[in-house]
Structure 1
Amino acid sequence: MIATNQKLGRAFAVFTHLCRRLAHTAAGGHLKPEYDAVIIGAGHNGLIAAAYLQKLGVNTAVLERRHLIGGAAVTEELIPGFKFSRASYLLSLLRPQIYKDLELKKHGLKVYLRNPYSFTPMLEEGIQGKLPRSLLLGTDMAETQQQIAQFSPKDAQAFPKYEMFMNRLAAAIDPLLDSSPVDTTAFQDRSLYQRLKALFTLKPLLQAGLILGTQLPQYYQVITGPITKVLDEWFESEPLKATLATDAVIGAMTSPYTPGSGYVLLHHVMGGLEGKKGAWGYVEGGMGALSHAIAKAAEAHGANIFTEKPVDKVQVNSSRQVQGVVLKDGTEVRSKLVLSNASPQITFLKLAPQEQLPEEFIKRISQLDTQSPVTKINVAVDKLPNFLAAPNVISGQPLPHHQCSIHLNCEDTQVLHQAFEDAIKGIPSRRPMIELCIPSSLDPTLAPPGCHVISLFTQYTPYTMTGGKVWDEQERNMYADRVFDCIEAYAPGFKKSVIGRDILTPPDLERVFGLPGGNIFHGAMSLDQLYFARPLPPYSNYRSPIRGLYLCGSGAHPGGGVMGAAGRNAAQVAFEDFKNL
């Protein structure tokens, strides 16, 4: 049944993608031999960079290797009638200025806000005929405190203070996201004018320091320490601590006990939607609808976007100056600027001419940490999961907890740590951490009536397994079956509801989306690969050793997630250089 539906789905997807591709290529017009700027990759950052450059009068073309735009922010109809956000699946981090500047609502973006936002059912027997307990967190603080009080009245009282504490830290980090990191080289061997100009780049750091004030030492501990140490100082109940800890490890090959995991949590609470800080939501039509809204904004200003145009190499002259790109089919496209939405590894180790890059630079790029714990599983079902801790209603209509990020195997931080330990040994987690989302609970356009699409973001799965095992079809299905068994324990009947599934292990995420090592951030969000050091010092300002070649993707500051800051910031830096050409 599953295999048959998957085959039908693939055939149907090919047809629908063909139609979309033809429509989009027609909108992009014919590829010209020369542009002011060429952008490699139509991920959301590349599209945003194109929109800003074109808006500033820089004639720009975007070249995408796949048959559809969006990078990891795509919607794919893998099974007839079921539309999946195949990779990224939630929206929150997209910078508010980008919403405004690109008029994304005007171009069709619609987002469903989630409230409540987190549901953690317990895997336990109900006591005296009662249901198993669960933890439901939402924007109503009084209701959230009642939920937490089931496990600890003390934690319920502490939670609002914790939220204020973390929100203040997020507010301090906020100004750093919308500008390049401080250019420390500008203070050395430069003219007085250049040094004075560089002083202005210190403004976001000074703003952050003023916001944090005398509490800077406590916040320093949050950013550098393991999240368990931070949460242990605030709370005593494991279900709450483990639920919060998931945001500190999601997408990262780290344990809640790993130093620096606190920043990853911060990265996931610094966003917002519709003016509501920390809010997360589902994009109507899936994440591909966001990418198409950005593309429409770019095209409205005159940018050209082309699919199925894989770039083979970046052309550079003997003076180490960009001259354009060459496509896989040999087509040459000249340009003064090239912005790469690809990862640093693809950009500098595969596309850029190695002889034009310093040996030390090449070595350090090749040594970047790109470990990924993620296997994404997209599932089509004919009914909603029926959790023992929160049974469905007879009508089968979605309940509040169905719109949440549903955390399974997340009742205890030790369970998360053990899942991590398995992967470090080269073994897919025996009890994996699972974040289950049902976007069709709010967006009815994604699935046929009565049916739903489910996103399973699971970890930890190593890229390379022990014992010479490889991620073949058998290993993929064995792991997916293990995940489904876990879900079945919380929601009996889940496995019978499955119509079809799509399994993306770390090597699959690398192959399909160009994510190095399967890493959703293009590289670890560890302190040694952030801000000044993303991707490497002194190249954190989007520039590279090759003049006119820039990074504009998640491998650049401020990192991964559907944020758009790297695309916008890189476009601004590239434009400043363009004016001086």
Structure 2
Amino acid sequence: MAAAVWTERGRRAVTALGTVTRASHSTVKSQYDALVIGGGHNGLVAAAYLQRGGVKTAVLERRHVLGGAAVSEEIVPGFHFSRCSYLLSLLRPHIYSDLELKKHGLKVYMRDPHAFTPMLEEGVRGAPPRSLTLGSDLAMNQKEIGKFSQKDAKAFPEFVTHLEKLAGAIHPLLDAPPVDIPGVTAGSLRKRLSAAKTLMPIVRCGLKLGRNIPDFYEIITAPIMKILNRWFESEPLIATLATDAVIGAMTSPNNPGSGYVLLHHVMGELEKEKGAWGYVEGGMGGVSKAIASSARSHGADIFTEKDVGQVLVGSDGAAKGVVLKDGTEIHSRVVLSNATPYVTFKKLTPQGSLSPEFIKAVDQIDFTSPVTKINVAVDKLPNFLAAPTPDGKPGPHHQCSIHLNCESVAVLEAAYKDAMNGRPSKRPMLEMTIPSVLDPTLAPPGCHVVSLFTQFTPFHIEGREWTDQDREAFADLVFDWVERYAPGFKGSVVGRDILAPPDLERIFGLTGGNIFHGSMSLDQLYLARPLPSLSDYRSPIKGLYLCGSGSHPGGGVMGSSGWNAALAVMTDLKRS
């Protein structure tokens, strides 16, 4: 179909035609061993491992489509989007292997190069504006960085090696629950010895770090600028690296703790390549679909359009199942919540079953989000002034994370300050991806899907709710900025889907619009995620567990929270 027809259809109406994932059974049984609230990727991982362990499990998803934030949806007819989460890297290799996700249909397109930062500047003697492109080719990276600083080009390989060493040391902590402090410090000698096993991941982490322990401590506590300024001098390189220290976080590169956010985003691997990120065929819903397929193959029941109203708590104070909003009761020995801690304990759990002190602590969890996600259907590829492709064919840079308004840290800082003053940024930080460059299944021939992950936008605009006019005005502003880097972009737009923080909360259940189910700040990590009393996935309600990204080790399509929660459940079921 001609691009002009798609344009006309898209501009008439942007529809939300979800990619429906049907349940494997037509009816829900009245009794299970375990119920998982929410069909996000962590909930599906937990269900798969529980079912593999012989625990009869059902997943109850509120929406018509599985995946939570890792979901594919057809927003504009013919255009399929990773509507929320949009890149894969952090999924733990043992989960990928254990659940045989490749066998169950997961296909990933690797990106190389992976980062492209064009400048807004006049070219010299008719040449295009400068840009910075980074990938797996170290010599090419040094050549690119050398356009701005030979000193930085020389330092970059050592920096990458240093960062990989620090990031790799975290892996033992991801695949295990936090240290059992009560068990180690109290109880019988037998209990203490058993709990001491939970110290082993920290020991392995320390052994991996060796003499780099002080560097590790610094990067998880310091502002990332303190570290980047020590290594480098060129603004485009520093700002490009700094974007990964604030992505998804309402923080500045100059704020303490931003170093850990950077580490969190470089500690993954894909197809055994460290730090690599890729596009999932068919969108991020392909990850969730593969995990669900694996869980079903072991006998798990998975249902969509089953909206849980409340966790059932018995007279003994223990969870005994759930009641759906249509009144259907489903009983179980345990309940796992893939919802955020706020939704779990403020909306799904009877308030009388929780202490006032606990409820107050939940109210104080930080769910602040800076993100507005804009999904765009276009009828031609963006043509960037800094890397022109007049023939309309994709260049290497089109497969990258394209960083716009990211050529200096001052621009990022100003954008952050706008949001802290209650207003959307006047010059927002933009991360653009065009997955259809590598995955032809996402858009009609000649057309593309564009993801714009934008920062910084507050949940309320100067104390009031977002209006449709606010959404459209912010999207227009974003498009104006893209136009400056890639003239003709606005004219190529077929349709758009604007998700401000309140929309991310309403549609995906992300409290505050926070993509990590809670800020990845130092006071909400490891033993304190989401609260010191909740770090082992077990809630104050016996038999009720957290299995989502609000629990350790946090956000991203990683699966570790679901895996660790499933292990905790199986341990408790064996003891009961």
With over 3 angstroms needed to count, the CA separation of the structure-2 counterparts of 1:516 and 1:2, relative to structure 1, is: farther
2:434 to 438, 442, 450: 438
Match in the other structure for 2:333: 336
- Please report how far the alpha carbon of residue 72 of structure 1 lies from its aligned counterpart in structure 2 after TM superposition: 0.4
Verify the 8 A CA contact 1:43 1:73 in the aligned structure 2. Answer: yes
Query: What is the CA deviation profile of residues 298-336 of structure 1, one whole-angstrom value per residue up to 9, with x for unaligned ones?
Result: 000000001111111111112221111000011000001
Residue pairs, 1:218-233, within 5 angstroms: 218-233=215-230
Structure 2: distance between partners of 1:463 and 1:3: 32
Structure 1: distance between partners of 2:177 and 2:154: 39
Residue pairs, 1:386-535, within 5 angstroms: 386-394=383-391, 396-466=392-462, 468-535=463-530
Name the aligned partner's letter for residue 459 of structure 2. Answer: Y
2:122 to 121, 125, 137: 125
Structure 1: distance between partners of 2:109 and 2:556: 18
Name the aligned partner's letter for residue 522 of structure 1. Answer: H
Query: Which is worse superposed, 319-328 or 115-124?
Result: 319-328
Structure 1: distance between partners of 2:311 and 2:141: 53
1:285 to 261, 282, 285: 282
Structure 2: distance between partners of 1:329 and 1:45: 25
Structure 2 gap ranges (5+)? 1-5
The 3-state SS of whatever aligns with 1:335 is strand
Query: Which is worse superposed, 202-211 or 552-561?
Result: 202-211
- Please report how far the alpha carbon of residue 577 of structure 1 lies from its aligned counterpart in structure 2 after TM superposition: 0.5
Is 1:186–2:191 an aligned residue pair? Answer: no
The 3-state SS of whatever aligns with 1:215 is helix
Verify the 8 A CA contact 1:419 1:459 in the aligned structure 2. Answer: yes
Structure 1: distance between partners of 2:224 and 2:317: 44
Match in the other structure for 1:77: 74
- Please report how far the alpha carbon of residue 28 of structure 1 lies from its aligned counterpart in structure 2 after TM superposition: 2.7
Verify the 8 A CA contact 2:383 2:486 in the aligned structure 1. Answer: yes
Match in the other structure for 2:3: none
The 3-state SS of whatever aligns with 1:338 is strand
Structure 2: distance between partners of 1:258 and 1:442: 36
- Please report how far the alpha carbon of residue 189 of structure 1 lies from its aligned counterpart in structure 2 after TM superposition: 3.1
Name the aligned partner's letter for residue 414 of structure 1. Answer: A
With over 3 angstroms needed to count, the CA separation of the structure-2 counterparts of 1:553 and 1:379, relative to structure 1, is: same
Match in the other structure for 1:255: 252
Structure 2: distance between partners of 1:439 and 1:360: 46
Structure 1: distance between partners of 2:25 and 2:294: 13
Verify the 8 A CA contact 2:30 2:330 in the aligned structure 1. Answer: yes
Verify the 8 A CA contact 1:3 1:500 in the aligned structure 2. Answer: no
Name the aligned partner's letter for residue 441 of structure 1. Answer: V
Identity %: 64
Structure 1: distance between partners of 2:250 and 2:552: 20
The 3-state SS of whatever aligns with 1:453 is strand
Query: What is the CA deviation profile of residues 114-155 of structure 1, one whole-angstrom value per residue up to 9, with x for unaligned ones?
Result: 000000000000011111000000000000000000000000
Query: What is the CA deviation profile of residues 217-253 of structure 1, one whole-angstrom value per residue up to 9, with x for unaligned ones?
Result: 1221111000111100000000000000000000000
- Please report how far the alpha carbon of residue 471 of structure 1 lies from its aligned counterpart in structure 2 after TM superposition: 1.2
The 3-state SS of whatever aligns with 1:378 is strand
Structure 1: distance between partners of 2:10 and 2:122: 36
Query: Which is worse superposed, 280-289 or 312-321?
Result: 312-321
**Number of aligned residues:** 571
- Please report how far the alpha carbon of residue 563 of structure 1 lies from its aligned counterpart in structure 2 after TM superposition: 0.4
Match in the other structure for 1:141: 138
Is 1:326–2:331 an aligned residue pair? Answer: no
- Please report how far the alpha carbon of residue 188 of structure 1 lies from its aligned counterpart in structure 2 after TM superposition: 3.4
Verify the 8 A CA contact 1:6 1:78 in the aligned structure 2. Answer: no
Structure 1: distance between partners of 2:186 and 2:264: 35
Structure 1: distance between partners of 2:477 and 2:567: 47
Query: What is the CA deviation profile of residues 269-323 of structure 1, one whole-angstrom value per residue up to 9, with x for unaligned ones?
Result: 0001000000000000000111111100000000000111111111111222111
Structure 2: distance between partners of 1:564 and 1:133: 39
Query: What is the CA deviation profile of residues 412-463 of structure 1, one whole-angstrom value per residue up to 9, with x for unaligned ones?
Result: 0111000000000001000000000000000000000110000000000000
The 3-state SS of whatever aligns with 1:312 is strand
Is 1:58–2:55 an aligned residue pair? Answer: yes
Match in the other structure for 2:10: 5
The 3-state SS of whatever aligns with 1:205 is helix
Query: What is the CA deviation profile of residues 368-424 of structure 1, one whole-angstrom value per residue up to 9, with x for unaligned ones?
Result: 011100000000001110000000142x22110000000000000111000000000
Name the aligned partner's letter for residue 474 of structure 2. Answer: Y
1:573 to 562, 568, 574: 568
Structure 2: distance between partners of 1:355 and 1:192: 36
What TM-score do the two structures reach when normalised by structure 1? 0.97
Match in the other structure for 1:267: 264
Structure 1 gap ranges (5+)? none
The 3-state SS of whatever aligns with 1:249 is coil
